[in-house]
Structure 1
Amino acid sequence: MKLDSLEVDSSFLKRVFLGIILAITSLNLSFGQELQDGQKRWSSETRLSLDDFKIKVSEANNEVAFSQFMITHAIGGFDFMKKNMNQKVGNIFLGNASYIDTSRVENIQEQLDFQQMQFDLAEIQARNFRKRVLKNKSQLTKGFDIINKINNEIMSELSEMRLTLMRDTDTGRNKQQVAEWKEKIKIDLKVLHDFRFENKEKIKLTE
C-alpha cells in the first residue's frame, strides 16, 4: 500500500511540476505580444502609411519597397481551455526592417496599397493559424509539437502567397491583377472574420 501511495504521489507531483513549467512558459511567451518600437499590429481600420517604413534606401538594385512581417504566438499549455486563440496569435508589421524609396516611387499611395496587400495576406495566415490551433487545441496537453508544425506550415504558405502575388501582379504593376487580388483577399478575410485578433467570443468550428 505504501508503494502504491508513493507511485501515485510521484505521478501527481510530475503533473503538478509539468503544469508549473507550462504556466511559466505561457507567461513568458505572453510578453512577446507587446509591440516594440517600429512595430504595427494589423487592423482593419488602420492601413500602412509612409511613416511606418523606417528605412529609406536609394540602391538601384533593390526593389522600390519591401515589407517585413512577423506572425507571433504566445500559446501556453493551459490554452486548450480557452474559447478561442485569437489574441494568442499576432500579425505584426516590422517597420524597422521595411523600406520604401520615395525617390524612385512614381505613385507612393499605389505602392503603399501594394505593401498593405501583403500585410493583408499575412493577416489571412494569422487567422488561419488561430483557426488551426483552435481546431487542434486538445493536443496542447501533449506538448508544443503541434504549434511548431502549424507555425512552419503557415509561414511556408505565406511565403508562397507573397511570391505568387508578386508574380501575378508584376510586383504591383499589373493593375488588373492587383484588382483581382484585392477582391480575393477581401473575400478570404471575410471568410475568416471570426478569427480576427479583436474577437474574444467563443468560436464554433464548422469544419
Structure 2
Amino acid sequence: MKKYTFLLCCLYTTVFLFGQETIEWTPDYVLQLSDYQSPESEIDSALTSYSIYSGSKIDFSFNMNSVSFMFTKNFNSKVKTIFQRNLAVLIAPDSITANQLLRFGRYDFDLVELYARKIRKKIYEEKGTFSDSKLFQPIFNELQEEMNTVSAQVFKATDFGKDAETLQKEHEKVTLGIHALSDFCESCKPKKIKN
C-alpha cells in the first residue's frame, strides 16, 4: 500500500510541476518577472547586454475522426495561446531594464492571443463541411508570419520596450483588437455566419 501511495504522490507532483510550466492566456493574468524561468534568465549588473525571448506561442492541435471533423465548425478550443515559463528568457543588467523587457513580454503575450483569435476566426469562416485538415496549415503559416513581423517591428520601434509610450500605444491597439474579436476567445462560440 505504501508503494502505491508513494507512486501516486510522485505522479501528482509530476502532473503539478508539468502544469506549472505553461500559462494559458486569460484577460486577467499579467506576466511577472518570476514567470521567466529558463535557466538562462538572469538580472546581473555584470552584464553589458540585454535580451528577451517571450516564451509565448500559439498551440494548435486536435484529434477527431473524419466524421466529427466534417461536422465541426468551431475550432476555438483547439487554438490556445500559451506562455512557456521554462523556455522564457529575460536577461538584463538591472531591474529597470528587466521591467522594460517584461512590459514587452506582456505586449507579446497579448499579441499572440490576438493572432490566435485571428486564426480561430479565419478557420471558422473558411471551414466548410467537406474541408479537410489541409485547410489549417496555410492559415496558421500566413498569420504566424504576419504576427512575427508585427512583433519584430514593435520590438525595434520601442527599442526592446524602452520606449514605454510607443509600447503602450501598440499594446492598446492589440487590446482593442482582442476585444473586437471577442467571439473568438478560446471558450467562445462564434455567431453563425449569415449567407
Q: Does 1:45 align with 2:32?
A: no
Q: Does 1:54 align with 2:37?
A: yes
Identity of aligned residues (%): 22
**Superposed, which structure 2 residues align to 1:93-108 within 5 Å?**
93-101=83-91, 103-106=93-96, 108=98
Following the alignment from structure 2 to structure 1, what is the Cα–Cα distance between the partners of residues 160 and 190?
A: 39
CA contact (8 A) 2:103 2:161 kept: no
Following the alignment from structure 2 to structure 1, what is the Cα–Cα distance between the partners of residues 70 and 184?
A: 16
Deviates more, 1:124-133 or 1:101-110: 101-110
- Return closer, same or farther for 1:136/1:173 CA change in 2, 3 Å cut-off: same
**Superposed, which structure 2 residues align to 1:56-71 within 5 Å?**
56-57=41-42, 60=47, 63-71=50-58
- Return closer, same or farther for 1:123/1:179 CA change in 2, 3 Å cut-off: same
Structure 1 runs of 4+ aligned residues shifted over 6 Å read none
Give the count of matched residue pairs. 171
CA contact (8 A) 1:64 1:105 kept: no
**Superposed, which structure 2 residues align to 1:11-160 within 5 Å?**
36-55=19-38, 56-57=41-42, 60=47, 63-75=50-62, 76=64, 77=66, 78-82=68-72, 84-101=74-91, 103-106=93-96, 108-138=98-128, 141-160=130-149
Following the alignment from structure 1 to structure 2, what is the Cα–Cα distance between the partners of residues 69 and 119?
A: 6
Residue 181 of structure 1: CA displacement?
Answer: 0.5
CA contact (8 A) 1:87 1:198 kept: yes
Look up the equivalent residue of 1:125 and give its one-letter code.
Answer: Y
- Return closer, same or farther for 1:157/1:62 CA change in 2, 3 Å cut-off: farther
Look up the equivalent residue of 1:94 and give its one-letter code.
Answer: Q
Following the alignment from structure 2 to structure 1, what is the Cα–Cα distance between the partners of residues 166 and 194?
A: 32
TM-score, normalising length: structure 1: 0.72
Q: Does 1:203 align with 2:191?
A: yes
Unpaired segments of 5 or more residues in structure 1?
Answer: 1-34
Q: Secondary structure of 1:197's partner?
A: coil
Q: Secondary structure of 2:95's partner?
A: coil
- Return closer, same or farther for 1:103/1:169 CA change in 2, 3 Å cut-off: closer
Look up the equivalent residue of 1:143 and give its one-letter code.
Answer: D
Q: Deviations over 1:99-121 (max 9, x none)?
A: 12354331544432221100111
The CA RMSD measured in Å over matched residues stands at: 2.5
Following the alignment from structure 1 to structure 2, what is the Cα–Cα distance between the partners of residues 105 and 112?
A: 10
TM-score, normalising length: structure 2: 0.76
Following the alignment from structure 1 to structure 2, what is the Cα–Cα distance between the partners of residues 206 and 119?
A: 32
Residue 68 of structure 1: CA displacement?
Answer: 2.1
Following the alignment from structure 1 to structure 2, what is the Cα–Cα distance between the partners of residues 62 and 68?
A: 19
Look up the equivalent residue of 2:133 and give its one-letter code.
Answer: F
